[in-house]
Amino acid sequence: MTRSRVAEYRGTIIPTPWRPGLSTKNRQLITTKETIMQFGFLLPNLLSPISHATALKISARLAEAVGFHSIWATDHVLMPEAYPQYGEGTEAISTLAYLSAITQRVSLGLSVLVLPMRNPIVVAKQLASVAHLSGRELIVGVGVGWNADEYGYLNADFKQRGKRVDEYVTILRKLWCDKKPEHEGTYSFSGATFSPHLKSPPPIWIGGESDAAVRRTARIGDGFHPNLRSDQDYAAQVRRIRELSEGRAITMSLRTVLDLHDGPAAAIDQLGQLREAGLQYPVVGFKHETLSDLVSGIETFGRDVIPALRE
């Protein structure tokens, strides 16, 4: 993509739909014989050489225009120097708040918030505020994280992260749902008021690829949102969650980064196979070194991959 093409997206709300004849409903939902697929775009707010405001603005608007249902921010706060790929980037919740003001209707997602190293009461307030002020659907992916140093920097207990994420999810839901929220535990409160009140609480998706994440999803999750790994048996994980959840509705998602430089065929095949395994809501990023690379990936996915998976 040329520099002049990138410039077309600067400072402009890109009209939707991207292609003539693609209705708003079809722009967001891809109906198949087995499931309804929705598509999330993984923002370059972290793990990207272009995690700056211009790239975030252009990519978010373009993703909305070409048919993505949602935009997703990645979370880490303070990582050791041994992981330079995390050295540049913006905070996840703040990023979504900013982008909600410069997009039109796209849903917002976190992929995923490292919840146990945060104050869950503050997180509940932040997320309720974003959902209320934006008027958008907000999907809250949460995980336990993996870096002990980051927990240490934030004065959080790495060894207790599994137990804490379970408790903190409970706290979020109490604050969002209960008229008189009360809790006794790592954080305790009663006789307190919480706002803003939401008509419906944000769904909470569980991140992680481990058996513990699978069991946690079945027990307390509204969705399953692992990183896709080459050695992962996604179909088996989906079956296990369905068995353990005893019929409770759980959205099957995943997060992956696609390389579309050689065309869309491999991505269409991979996501098609995962759909057969139970995938309902892929959240995808694109390999890139420049903003032009990223824009090209978004355009290709919207033009070729989404329609192919709609057939």
What contacts 225, CB < 8 A, 6 or more positions away? Answer: 111, 112, 141, 205, 206, 207, 253, 254, 255, 283
d(CA 218, CA 213) in angstroms, rounded, equals 9
In this prediction the pTM is 0.90
Average pLDDT over residues 109-114: 99
What contacts 206, CB < 8 A, 6 or more positions away? Answer: 141, 142, 143, 213, 216, 217, 220, 221, 223, 224, 225
Q: At what angle do helices 161-177 and 120-134 cross, to 10 degrees?
A: 50
pLDDT digits (tens, 9 = 90+) for 174-217: 999 999 999 999 999 999 999 998 989 999 999 999 999 999 99
Strands 251-258 and 281-286: parallel
d(CA 70, CA 43) in angstroms, rounded, equals 10
Q: Is the pLDDT of residue 31 over 60?
A: no
d(CA 212, CA 218) in angstroms, rounded, equals 10
Closest CA to 274 of 39, 60, 71: 39
What contacts 74, CB < 8 A, 6 or more positions away? Answer: 42, 43, 45, 46, 47, 89, 92, 111
- The confidence band for 35, taking pLDDT boundaries of 50, 70 and 90, is low
Residue 237 tokens read as: 């994980």
Q: Is the pLDDT of residue 1 over 60?
A: no
Average pLDDT over residues 2-21: 42
What contacts 44, CB < 8 A, 6 or more positions away? Answer: 50, 51, 55, 56, 59, 285, 288, 294
pLDDT at 164: 99
For the chain, what percent of residues have pLDDT higher than 90? 84
One-letter amino acid at 301 equals F
pLDDT at 13: 40
| Structural domains of the chain, with CATH | 3-310 (3.20.20.30)
Q: Strand, coil or helix: what is 123?
A: helix
Cβ atoms of 61 and 14 within 8 Å: the answer is: yes
pLDDT at 22: 31
Closest CA to 18 of 308, 296, 309, 299: 299
